Each structure stands twice: as structure tokens, then as C-alpha cells.
Amino acid sequence: MTTEAAPPHGSAGTPAASPTAEEFSAVQQSAEFAELRSSYRSFAFPLTVAFIAWYLLYVLLSNYAGGFMGTKLFGNINVALVFGLAQFATTFLIAWLYSRHAAANLDPKAAAIKARMEAGE
């Protein structure tokens, strides 16, 4: 039994052209790539800063506001536990938001750039 390897990247069995370093540099300098980079940064940087600030607030409150963080909300559940669990919820929320943003805004732009490079344009 023999198996054939799939063609590297091209369509209909033809191998994709390998872009040169000059072509990569040209794409990197293009307005289309700058728009892709800007779209990524305008989403990722603010959320990263916000999450780090939120995390540092949690750490600082845990260290310097023990009375507040130890406040019981109901039963044995206190503010610190709620804030700690909110850290996990926030992490998953940001990951979900990024996934949606990437699918809607980043992936189509990246696919267009990739297709253009593979076509040799």
C-alpha cells in the first residue's frame, strides 16, 4: 500500500511559489499589512493593559486591603474569592472576544495578504 504526500500549499496539486525576502519586505511595508497590524494592536493592546491593571488591582487589594477583601458577602464567600474567580472569568471573556475579533477582522485580511503572496503578486 503506497501513500502519496499532499502537495505543499498550492491549489489543484501545484506547489505554491516561495516568496522572496524582498517580497516579504514589500508586503510588510504595504498599507494592507499596516491595516492588519493596526487592527490587531487596537484590540490587543488596550485589553492587555486593562487586564494587567485589573490583575494588579486584585494583587494590591489582597496585600493592602485585607479587611475589604475579607468582607463576607454570603456564607464563606468573601470579596477576595469573588475577585479571584472574576480573574478567571475575565481571562476567558478576553479570549472569546479576541477569537471573535480575529475571525471577523484579522483572519480575512491575513488570508488576502497570504493569497496575494502565494499568487506572486
Domain definitions of the chain by residue range: 21-118
pLDDT value at position 48? 95
pTM: 0.73
Secondary structure (3-state) at 99: helix
% pLDDT > 90, the chain: 67
- Confidence category of residue 17, pLDDT binned at 50, 70, 90: low
Least confident of 22-36, 72-86, 91-105: 22-36
List, as one string, the DSSP characters of 5-31: PPPSS-STTPPPPPPPHHHHHHHHTSH
- Confidence category of residue 61, pLDDT binned at 50, 70, 90: very high
Whether the predicted pLDDT of 52 surpasses 90: yes
pLDDT value at position 12? 53
Residue 51 · residue 94 · CB < 8 Å:
yes
